[in-house]
Amino acid sequence: MITVVKYNPQGEKKVQYPAQVLARLENGVILDAHWNNPRRDLGYTVFEPGDHFVEYFYTDRWFNIFAISDADGRRKGWYCNIAAPALVSEERVEQIDLLLDVWVNPSGQPLLLDEDEFVADTTLTEFQRQGARQGLQELLTLIAERREPFLESG
């Protein structure tokens, strides 16, 4: 088991949860986790208890990717956080969330989320803003090209 910790841009801990390590990569880690919180309707999708998350964290990319399936294994989509490169150790994955998010539905259509929050935030450094813009462009390219993990099956 490993602990995932998400921080806001000011470095305050916002979310912490346990996950199982599926693979350690040269540039990150792939984790297995489940939604153990109450049902959450986001409008474009609903997270429900038992939803399965395969989470990709990278030490050299400005985003993470959560491949989400329901309890029966049907793909719901991919939730992507624009975030500073992850710090990965044996016990923890830590990452600073940079407010922008992208939802990708099962057919591969991206939906940019929280852009107004990103633009309005006055605490992000110029370095964080540049990294976020770079990460968003790289992520949108992966989505458009249907590259791993944005494959149609599973």
Q: What is the per-residue pLDDT across 4-54, written as a single tens digit (0 to 9) for each?
A: 999 999 899 999 999 999 999 999 999 999 998 899 999 999 999 999 999
Domains of the chain: total: 1
SS3 category, 115? helix
Q: Is 149 among the domain residues?
A: no
Q: SS3 of 89, please?
A: coil
The answer to whether position 133 is within a domain reads yes
What's the pLDDT tens digit per position in 97-145? 999 999 999 999 999 999 999 999 999 999 999 999 999 999 999 999 9
Contact 59, 28 (CB under 8 A): yes
Report yes or no: 67 and 78 within 8 Å, Cβ to Cβ: yes
User: pLDDT by residue (tens digit) across 50-85?
Assistant: 999 999 999 999 999 999 999 999 999 999 999 999
Name the 3-class secondary structure at 148: coil
Question: Is residue 150 one of the residues assigned to a domain?
Answer: no
- Cβ atoms of 11 and 100 within 8 Å: the answer is no
Position 30 in a domain: yes
Q: Residue 95: which CATH number? A: 2.40.380.10
Q: Which residues contact 43 (CB under 8 A, 6 or more apart)?
A: none
57 lies in some domain: yes
Q: How confident is the model at residue 57, as a pLDDT?
A: 98
Q: Which residue has the tokens 């841009």?
A: 9
DSSP string covering 5-35, please?
EEE-TTS-EEEEEEEEEEEEETTEEEEEEE-
pLDDT band at 151 (very low <50, low <70, confident <90, very high): confident
H/E stretch holding 144 reads helix 126-144
